[in-house]
Structure 1
Amino acid sequence: MLRRTAVSSGIRAATLFGVLAVGLTSCATEETPDTDATGHGAIGGAEEVAEPQLGLTTIDPTGTVAHLDLLDESVTELGEVSPAHSMTTDGRYLFAASDTGVQIVDSGVWTWDHVDHFHYYRAEPQLLGTVDGEGAATIATTNSSTSGGTGISFAGSGDAVLLDTEALSRGEIRELFRVEREPHAGLVVPVGSFALLTDGSGTVTAYDSSGEPTGPEEPCPDPAGSITTRVGAVIGCSDGALLAHVDGSELVVERIPYPEDAPDAAVSGFDNREGRPTVAGLAGPTDIRLLDTRQRAWTLLTAPAPLAHVTAVDDDDDHLLALAQDGRILVLDAATGSVLAETSPLVAESLAAGAAPTLIADQQRAYLSAPTEKLLYEIDYADDARIARTFETATEPAFAAETGR
């Protein structure tokens, strides 16, 4: 129903995580000079390379951080963090929330988006340290790993923290502000030189980078879920979404309500191929909601099976990727919700054990972690959901991120 406002051959197994290399393989290029991060994403000590340095960076239940290089299939152990409860990434950093706060891992690989072309970099990976905080942490990032801010909201204390992302790129954890609020499971969403903060009462307020409220204030009942697209930053509300962007030096916040006939439900999180304008979320096991931030319009779809996760590819063929609750990956038509291809149940054991798999959409491939099965899958979703590569892991990849993008 649409309302608007096969597993194949070619599996190549590699047992990679059993033997961990000592250092990341680097490309033989000249060192990039120290430059302003608003230029081309370069920082001192980084190498600019000819292609994206894509990898899968994982954290296991004990806190061991490992990096699988998707180009040469080498594996590097980056170090250890405290056991994490959740993890968020911007494509370079891993923000791992633990009992002591948020620990930050720099994978050392990233892409700088210049709209009509890209720059690719590799530097030494680092464990940067911890941002102290009480209670569950919710992290909101942008699409830049060398400029702007990264928001952290601590539910236990209510503290709202905005980190300087450019400082992170130099190996320094620097808080632009820490604002005290009433304890609640809130959000701190960076937008250019501003940030949008929840207050626990259904209102979102704009702050500048020094931590001073600047307006505007916008109602947002039950705010949950944020993501940044090429158009702006999205915050989910029970009645739709807010879309924020900077026009010149002014912060603009727009409201995008759900269609009048939408069921009374809310999206608690969004996902997409990084930077693309369309995002996807679930308001129920079969209630898919797509938000086109460029058109400011929702598309509501009914899934063909109960789902655990959905992400928008937003490519020329309108692909939508979904993880079914039985462990299959479904390739859906984002215009109709019909099934274009599907895999066998790849992560049934993980879902049954409550070990949440990670589904990542890339320009050419999808990546799926299978914690209980101790596997990582690379899936060619445009080629009948073909399993392109399968990587075995020595420990459970409890959290996984595609880095270098």
Structure 2
Amino acid sequence: MRSRITTLVVVGTLALSLSACAGDASVDPAADPASESGTAGHGAVEGAEEVAEPPLGLTTIDAGGQVAHLDLLDESVTDLGTVAPPSAMATDGRYLFADSGSGVEIVDSGVWTWDHVDHFHYYRAAPRLLGTVGGHGSATVATTNSSTSGGTGLSFADSGDAVLLDTEALSRGEIHELFRLEREPHDGLVVPIGSFALVTRSEGGEATSVIGYDSSGGPTGLVHPCPAASGTITTRVGAVIGCADGALLARVDDGALSVESIPYPQGVGPSSIGSFDNREGRPTVAALAGPTDIRLLGTRERSWTLLTSPVPLAHVTAVDDEEGHLLALAQDGRMLVLSAQDASLVTETEALVGDSLSAGLSPTLIADQHRAYLSAPAERRLYEIDFADGARIARVFDTATEPAFVAETGR
């Protein structure tokens, strides 16, 4: 069913600068983990229409499991159906992986971008609910930058099951497990890298190392220590995994899986990072190790930059543009634009999501090349913000229900 959403505020031009999906064309394709897998067809799948520009949208799931898609081009809304009420959600820019605590339901938004490093292809197909991957306990989902090839990793905390899904099969509407491994229960990770995956191993219920597997579940022989492994993200350079003493960077080189350590600078004690965030695919990622403790990891330089925020934060993400912007959500509900050089304040919004934060809800902050998107669950709004233009509120969308989980899709 299609319906209209009320646009509360539209400031400036309605036409977005949709080069938002354009990435860095200067990288070496051999260093791109996505380039190692299936380039045939340029990301096309049967039944999909190739379009001239990125079909960007915001796909939301409310607390009751209702799924909706807001098309950012024409502002129409499509109701996609209902999943089990989720406790968490992950996305790769096409699929939404909704964790109910007893399995992960997969939503295909039907819009995606295929990255060929020096150019891009954009597709639109019918959105659909694909079904459920069974599992026990909370699930941690790890994706790559490709929604039509490679794998998607799921780690179930209560059972310890480590699952690698075939992402190409997902693009055809099928859920196919490449492998399912039994492990000791723990909050772990299954991180896809090309045709491989790194799977955490635990001791006493805590992840202490990662083990390499091929796509059939066979061990590669690679074992690498990673105390308190937590948090993962894929950049153009490789897949990042957070460790208490720094991070691991995993790549596929000449058809072989490799892992290297990027330790914290000398004198920095162990720290737990729960998540990394950035503009999709860019080499610099951001994380919080404390309310004012920002840690930037440059995956090209293999180095950390430690910054102190001027105010306590709830979230931070790296835009990694020429100006070196960081976007942050302050604990009082303001969105801040910070310098990646020293975390100094560049500009800010008013408090947009104060009610949500006071209610214990978790707004989602998303960065692309030209816009930021901020969800306000309690306020029942979605904000589009031009962070490079004084944090100007470009558009505000009212939502029929609380947008508990939000993904920017089509990128």
TM-score calculated relative to the size of structure 2:
0.90
Alpha-carbon distance between aligned partners in 1 of 2:270 and 2:183, rounded to the nearest angstrom: 29
Instruction: Report Cα offsets for 1:224-244 as digits up to 9, x if no partner.
Output: 000000000000000000000
Return structure 1 stretches of 4+ with deviation > 6 angstroms.
none
Q: Residue 351 of structure 1 corresponds to which residue in structure 2?
A: 357
Q: Report what 2:21 is aligned to.
A: none
CA contact (8 A) 2:101 2:139 kept: no
User: What is the aligned partner in structure 2 of residue 109 from structure 1?
Assistant: 111
In the alignment, residue 305 of structure 1 is paired with which amino acid?
A: V
Amino acid across the alignment from 2:10: R
Contact 2:102–2:138 (Cα < 8 Å) also in 1: no
- 1:390 paired residue among 376, 396, 402: 396
The aligned amino acid for 1:52 is P
Q: Name the counterpart of 1:62.
A: 64
1:127 corresponding residue in structure 2: 129
1:267 Cα offset (Å): 1.5
Contact 1:160 1:180 in 2 (8 A): yes
1:89 partner amino acid = T
Given candidates 278, 287, 293, the residue that maps to 1:287 is: 293
2:321 equivalent to 1:315:
yes
What SS is found at the alignment partner of 1:166? Answer: helix
Contact 1:37 1:43 in 2 (8 A): no
Counting only pairs closer than 5 Å after superposition, residues 89-168 of structure 1 correspond to structure 2 as 89-168=91-170
Amino acid of the residue matched to residue 135 of structure 1?
G
Question: What aligned pairs does 1:3-402 form with structure 2 within 5 A after superposition?
Answer: 11-12=9-10, 38-201=40-203, 202-402=208-408
Once the two structures are TM-superposed, the CA of residue 248 in structure 1 deviates from its matched residue by 1.6
Shift in Å, 1:351: 0.5
Structure 2 distance, partners of 1:317, 1:91, is 24
- Amino-acid identity (%): 73
**Aligned to 1:403, which of 389, 397, 409?**
409
Equivalent residue letter for 1:132: G
- How far does residue 264 in structure 1 lie from its aligned partner after superposition? 3.6
Q: Which deviations, in whole Å up to 9, do the C-alpha atoms of 1:28-68 show, x marking residues without a partner?
A: xxxxxxxx664410111100000000000000011000000
Query: For the residues of structure 1 that align with 2:301 and 2:195, how far apart are their CA atoms?
Result: 24
SS of residue in 1 equivalent to 2:113: strand
Alpha-carbon offset, residue 95 of structure 1: 0.2
Unaligned ranges ≥5, structure 2: 1-7, 12-37
Contact 2:9 2:397 in 1 (8 A): no
- Residue aligned with 1:351, SS: helix
- When the two structures are aligned, how many residues end up with a matched partner? 374
Q: Over residues 85-112 of structure 1, what are the superposed CA-to-partner deviations in whole Å (9 max), with x where a residue is unaligned?
A: 0000000000000033000000000000
TM-score w.r.t. length of structure 1: 0.91
Q: Give per-residue Cα distances to partners, 1:356-397, cap 9 Å, x unaligned.
A: 000000111000000000000000000010000000001000
Deviations 1:134-193 (A, max 9, x none): 000000000000000000000010000000000000000000000000000000000001
Query: Cα distance, 1:305 vs. partner?
Result: 0.3
Matched to 1:130, the amino acid is: T
| Aligned-partner residue type, residue 74 of structure 2 | D
Deviation of 1:268 after TM superposition, in Å, equals 1.4
CA distance in 2, matches of 1:140, 1:248: 23
> How many angstroms does 1:263 deviate by?
4.3
Q: Judge conservation of contact 2:271–2:289 (CA < 8 Å) in 1.
A: yes
Q: SS at 1:199's partner residue?
A: strand
* CA shift for structure 1 position 220: 0.3
Q: CA RMSD, aligned part only?
A: 1.1
Contact 1:358 1:399 in 2 (8 A): yes
Structure 1 CA distance for aligned equivalents of residues 96 and 248 of structure 2: 26
1:40 partner SS: helix
Q: Which amino acid aligns with 2:323?
A: D
> Does the 8 A contact of 1:271 with 1:310 survive in 2?
yes
Query: What is the CA deviation profile of residues 286-338 of structure 1, one whole-angstrom value per residue up to 9, with x for unaligned ones?
Result: 00000000000000000010000000000011000000000000000001110
Task: Give the distance between the partners of 1:395 and 1:196, measured in 2 at CA.
Answer: 38
In the TM superposition, residue 398 of structure 1 has moved relative to its aligned partner by 0.3
Q: How far 1:215 sits from its partner (Å)? A: 2.3
Q: What SS does structure 2 have at the residue aligned with 1:305?
A: coil
Q: Distance in 1 between matches of 2:68 and 2:368?
A: 20
